[in-house]
Structure formats: C-alpha cells, structure tokens
Amino acid sequence: MSPLRRTVAADGALPARATRPTTASAALKGLRFRLATDPTPISVDGYRERARRALPDMIWSYVDHGSETEDTMRGNREAFSRYRVEARMLGGQPPKTLETEVAGRRVSLPVLLAPTGLTGLSHWTGELGAAHGAERAGTLSILSTSSTWSIEEVAAGTQEDHLFQLYPFSGGDGLRSGSAELMERAQRVGYSALFVTVDVPVIGNREWERLRGMGAPPTITPARAFDAARHVRWTYRYLRHQRVSARNLLDQGGSAAAVESVNRLAGLMNPELNWDDIAWMRDRWPGPFYVKGILHPEDARRAMALGADGVVVSNHGGRQLDQARATLDALPAVAAAVGQQGEVLLDGGVRRGSDVVKALCLGATAVCIGRPFIYGLAVDGADGVRAVLEIFREEIQRTLTLMGVESLEHLGPEWLAPASGPGTLADLPATAVDVLPG
C-alpha cells in the first residue's frame, strides 16, 4: 500500500484533519521574512566578493594578486586541500576555549592579523581600524612598517600593545641606522614584539598590479578614473581622508605623498641583509623577536640559534618569489627544526577555520591572516575585521567539535591524513611527513 494513501479507521471514518494548517499564516508560522537576501557575508569568500565590488580595479589588483604567474599564491591555497582531518565520535568533550599564547600574550583564538602595507588603500581606517577589529575579537595585529597610520598613531588609538613588523631599511648611515630608528619608535610607544621581514631584498615582480596601473608611480587613465568614480564611497573616503601613504616614512597624506613614500620604500630595500644584521637586531630589541619569511628548516635553526623567540613561515602571500613552496608544505620541516625552542607562526592561503586546524596539526602555534581581514576592512571597517575573525572562531570551534578534539593542545599530525591514500600522517616515517605532499 502506498505510504501516501490515507488510512481508514475501524469505524470507517477518515482521520481527523486537525493537524493540517487551516490558514496561510499558520503554514508560515515561525519563518522570518525579508524584502531582500541578508547582505551580511557568512564566510571569508563572501567578504571577498563584497570587497571586490567595493574597491576599484587598481586597488583590487594590489590587494588580491601576487607576483608573476601567481603560482605561489595559488599554491598556498591549494596546499590545504591536500590534507583531510580525522574525526572521532562520542568523545562528549567539545573544546572549552580556543585561547593560546603568542609572543607572551594571551589571545582568544589562534589567529593574528598579519602585517599588510598601505592598508588605507582598502579602507580609510587602515591599520588603526584593523587593530580595533582585532581588539574586539580578542587578538592582536602586527603593524607593518609601510602602514598608512604611523607607529605612534596606532599606539595612541588602541587599548592593547600590538606587535610591530620591521623592514630592515637602509638609512643615511647604512641599514642599521634606518632600522634602529624604527625599532626605537616602536619600543618607545609600547609595541610588545618585533617581527623582522627577511623575504623582501627587492620588490617582487607583481605583473598584475603593473598592468592595472599600480606600478611606481601609479598610472591613471580615463578608464581607470571612471572606474574609481563608479566606486563612490571609496572615492569619497579617499579624497576626504587621504590615508594612502606610508606614514612611518613620510608624514603626509594624498597621492603625491603616496607616490613618494612608495618610491622611498623601494629605494630602502636592502639585498645585502644578512644573519649578522639579524643578530644585531635581536640584541637591540628587548622583547619577543621573530624572523618572518622563513621557508627552509636550516634558516629556522639559524634564527633560533641567534636568539629568536620564533619564526613566521611565510612567502609574503605569493607576492615575492614566484614558484616558492607553499607555506603549509614548508611548515612541518620548519616546525621540526624549531622544536620546543620557540613558536612557529604561518601565513598564506588561510581562508577557513579548518585551514587553521590543519596548520596547528602540522606544528604551527597560530596563523596570521592578511587578505581575509582586508576583505572585511574594505566592506565594513573595523566591524568587518571583527566579523571575519568571528567567522574563523566559529569555524575552528565547529571543526574541532566535529573532529572530536577536546583542546588545541591535543592537535598533532595524527589528526591529519593525506587527501588521497590510506592512513594518517602519524603512520608515515618522519622523512615522508617532511616532504608531503610531493
């Protein structure tokens, strides 16, 4: 008998129809109505789509593209798909906290904001807005040397002592005088840790930017001016606030200052930077000290031997050396080289909470996000940054709960498996884990 056919009661009567809705209002009870779809993004990709619409093409080419073929940038993202997470059932103990410690500071989730240059191009609040968003989410921001708000402005405008990223620039008396001035400024106003970037001896060949007018100097055409004018809100804020220059190098706003500061940035890059310079900086900086841009385990060992408190596994988001290794691929060997001597952070390609979990399984203390928080900033300023961080928090919590992991401290290679093939990473010899996925 068809399960859809109504049954007949013993007395021959049909069943009562009282359980059926008698009116349209009853049938729709409990539903929520909107005149349009809720515009609030629910993922990092959603914020990326909104940011793309909010920014002119010239600015978007700077935010969302990499160097040359962009293989390194794509590789960062693709590396995460080569791993799967394990799941254990009926543990009954979801994680109670996502707190962790980075650079001697407690943060509410293992995600920090990476240093990004000229962030004011995406939203006039720039690095100050990003730091506000980080604070609201209970984490920290790493301020770039090439920020559109100065070291002092961000320190004065925030509650927390954030972190500072140093490009080891040459000064009038050589590299050390230029670096010393920036380090002293950061230390004087309370930045609690120093991150020295070592993967920019020269600026990478960012062809996408150059083709869209973001070279040095930027090139405006009628079509590009029209495109900017179409983005009314961005153009209004650009004209009103003019937060587009590197304020740590030139305390002026506007397009002319932006061009001059970019030229200064390029001129100050130093391909002669070496390990003796890192040792000198380590001795001069009194707090936690990190070397950013490490991809090889031998470089990680040298950094730790010189007294670094940690390293950042980074290829500059695919904006420097094209064809470099994906950061997630480099992570296991670097983490093994550092061991218990210090912390290992990772950036590049992190878009999901599950990405964060995979990085922690492979030895990262925490991750840094760059483009994701810029997407949020471009859409909604500091609130957008906080929203992106909260998306990461929810996704990390959900992923750990579904995996059956009670605590971040329990994560390790045994919770990962290759995307193809049986077994977990813990089943493989250490040498195989170092080269996965090959």
- In whole angstroms, give the CA distance from residue 144 to residue 150: 9
What's the token pair of residue 347?
Answer: 């950036």
Q: Is 191 annotated as a binding residue?
A: no
With 0-12 / 13-18 / 19 or more C-beta atoms within 10 angstroms meaning exposed / middle / buried, residue 419 is: exposed
Q: Is 144 annotated as a binding residue?
A: yes
* Amino acid in the structure at residue 219: T
Q: Is 371 annotated as a binding residue?
A: yes
Q: Is 348 annotated as a binding residue?
A: yes
Q: What phi-psi label fits residue 365: left (phi over 0), alpha (psi between -120 and 50 degrees) or beta?
A: alpha
Q: Is 133 annotated as a binding residue?
A: no
Q: Is 317 annotated as a binding residue?
A: no
Q: Is 370 annotated as a binding residue?
A: yes
What's the token pair of residue 22?
Answer: 């008698």
Q: Is 120 annotated as a binding residue?
A: no
Q: Is 81 annotated as a binding residue?
A: no
Q: Is 117 annotated as a binding residue?
A: yes
Q: Is 206 annotated as a binding residue?
A: yes
**Spacing of C-alpha 396 from chain mean position:** 15
Three-class SS of the chain: CCCCCCCCCCCCCCCCCCCCCCCHHHHCCCCCCCCCCCCCCCCHHHHHHHHHHHCCHHHHHHHHCCCCCCHHHHHHHHHHCCEEECCCCCCCCCCCCCCEEECCEEECCCEEECCCCCHHHCCCCHHHHHHHHHHHHCCCEEECCCCCCCHHHHHHCCCCCCEEEECCCCECCEHHHHHHHHHHHHHHCCCCCEEEECCCCCCCCCHHHHHCCCCCCCCCCHHHHHHHHHCHHHHHHHHHHCCCCCCCCCCCCCHHHHHHHHHHHHHHCCCCCCHHHHHHHHHHCCCCEEEEEECCHHHHHHHHHCCCCEEEECCHHHCCCCCCCCHHHHHHHHHHHHCCCCEEEEECCCCCHHHHHHHHHCCCCEEEECHHHHHHHHHHHHHHHHHHHHHHHHHHHHHHHHHCCCCHHHCCHHHEEECCCCCCHHHCCHHHHHHCCC
Q: Is 316 annotated as a binding residue?
A: yes
Report, as residue numbers or ranges, the catalytic residues. Answer: 316
Q: Is 347 annotated as a binding residue?
A: yes
Q: Is 188 annotated as a binding residue?
A: no
Q: Is 349 annotated as a binding residue?
A: yes
Q: Is 29 annotated as a binding residue?
A: no
Q: Is 375 annotated as a binding residue?
A: no
Q: Is 437 annotated as a binding residue?
A: no
Q: Is 319 annotated as a binding residue?
A: yes
- Tell me the binding residues for glyoxylate: 62, 167, 206, 316, 319
- Tell me the binding residues for FMN: 115-117, 144, 165, 197, 292, 314, 347-351, 370-371
- Tell me the binding residues: 62, 115-117, 144, 165, 167, 197, 206, 292, 314, 316, 319, 347-351, 370-371
